[in-house]
């Protein structure tokens, strides 16, 4: 009997060297399947960066995203893996700068008026202070990874509106969604100014917000509380990953 090679088609080249940066929405808080070695960063092996890595077999992969990160954390603590060989960078950041966690706490525990006032403060910050912070972070990424495609992903709206939903009032739902739109608009504009791609996840999460019949987000979680108001594993797989994949 003679043995020969079985040809199965051309080998697929490895994907580009990929580095994931950002906050809890990048790290995968809420997606479960946490990497114990990531400590308080709570990185999930079910997060959208790992889903992209598993699908595309990049030539190298580093994930320095971390729960609670603001723009200066990215600049000061997350950029070490970047270099001239980096081919793809993904990033979700800006929500913590604008005080997203405090907005949600205030809106859950306070009155409609208190919630609206806190959201207005966050929106003013997003419009007036966040742009310069994003510019500094984006410039630092480009300086360290001059050849990379950079995909900046935004945040979903939290609530499906105009449906019966136990919990926060319709006023709060609408105002929190408005804040997401303001922050996403600022992020999209600054990303475009730096030649980066903005990935809008509001489209994929549409119809899967809290108060929908098929939500991809956690509402208030008692333990661990840092999963509250973050995407589930399905949110990463069906909300974030398709947007990164389509833009990478």
In this prediction, what percent of the chain has a pLDDT beyond 90? 88
| Region of 112 on the Ramachandran plot (φ > 0 left; ψ -120 to 50 alpha; else beta) | alpha
Q: Which two tokens stand for residue 111?
A: 């009155």
Q: How far apart are CA 86 and CA 106, in angstroms?
A: 40
pLDDT of residue 224: 86
Which whole number is the average pLDDT over 6-35? 82
Active site residues per annotation: 24, 230
- The answer, yes or no, to whether residue 156 has pLDDT greater than 60, is yes
* pLDDT, tens digit (0-9, with 9 covering 90-100), for 161-196: 998 888 899 999 999 999 999 999 999 999 999 999
Which segment of 46-60, 116-130, 215-229 scores lowest on mean pLDDT? 215-229
Mean pLDDT of all residues belonging to the chain: 93
The alpha carbons of the chain give a radius of gyration, in whole angstroms, of 19
pLDDT of residue 13: 59
Contact 97, 28 (CB under 8 A): no
CA dihedral 129, 220, 202, 184 (to 10 degrees): 0
* pLDDT, tens digit (0-9, with 9 covering 90-100), for 36-94: 999 999 999 999 999 999 999 999 999 999 999 999 999 999 999 999 999 999 999 99
**Beta bridge partner(s), residue 198:** 152
Is 0.85 topped by the overall pTM?
A: yes
Which segment of 16-25, 106-115, 217-226 scores lowest on mean pLDDT? 217-226
216 CB-side CA count, 13 A? 23
Q: Which two tokens stand for residue 74?
A: 């990215």
**Beta bridge partner(s), residue 151:** 90, 197
Burial of 136: CB neighbours in 10 Å, binned 0-12, 13-18, 19+: middle
Q: How far apart are CA 221 and CA 228, in angstroms?
A: 5
pLDDT of residue 3: 40
Burial of 195: CB neighbours in 10 Å, binned 0-12, 13-18, 19+: exposed
Q: Which two tokens stand for residue 43?
A: 């990185």
Contacts made by residues 170-175, CB under 8 angstroms, sequence distance 24+: 171/112, 171/115, 171/116, 172/107, 172/112, 172/115, 172/116, 173/211, 175/107, 175/115, 175/116, 175/119
pLDDT of residue 222: 75
Distances (CA, A) of 157 to 35, 91, 100, 178, 209: 27, 18, 12, 8, 7
120 CB-side CA count, 13 A? 6
Which whole number is the average pLDDT over 107-114? 95
Q: Which two tokens stand for residue 195?
A: 């030649």
């Amino acid at each position: 009997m003679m043995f020969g090679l079985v040809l199965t088609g051309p080998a697929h080249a490895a994907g580009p060297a990929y580095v994931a940066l950002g906050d809890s929405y990048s790290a995968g808080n809420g997606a479960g399947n946490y990497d114990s070695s990531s400590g308080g960063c709570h990185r999930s092996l079910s997060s959208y960066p790992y889903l992209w890595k598993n699908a595309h077999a990049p030539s190298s992969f580093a994930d320095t995203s971390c729960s609670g990160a603001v723009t200066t954390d990215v600049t000061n603590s997350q950029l070490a893996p970047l270099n001239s060989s980096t081919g793809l960078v993904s990033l979700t950041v800006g929500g913590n700068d604008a005080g997203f966690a405090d907005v949600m706490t205030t809106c859950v525990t306070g009155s409609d008026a208190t919630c609206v006032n806190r959201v207005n403060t966050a929106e003013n910050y997003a419009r007036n202070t966040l742009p310069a912070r994003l510019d500094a972070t984006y410039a630092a990424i480009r300086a360290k990874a001059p050849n990379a495609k950079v995909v900046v992903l935004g945040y979903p709206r939290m609530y499906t509106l105009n449906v019966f939903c136990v919990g926060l009032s319709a006023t709060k739902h609408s105002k929190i969604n408005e804040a997401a739109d303001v922050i996403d608009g600022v992020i999209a504009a600054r990303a475009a100014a730096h030649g980066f791609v903005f990935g809008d996840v509001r489209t994929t999460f549409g119809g899967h917000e809290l108060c929908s019949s098929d939500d991809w987000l956690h509402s208030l979680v008692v333990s661990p509380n840092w999963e509250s108001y973050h995407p589930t594993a399905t949110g990463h797989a069906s909300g974030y990953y398709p947007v990164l994949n389509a833009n990478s």
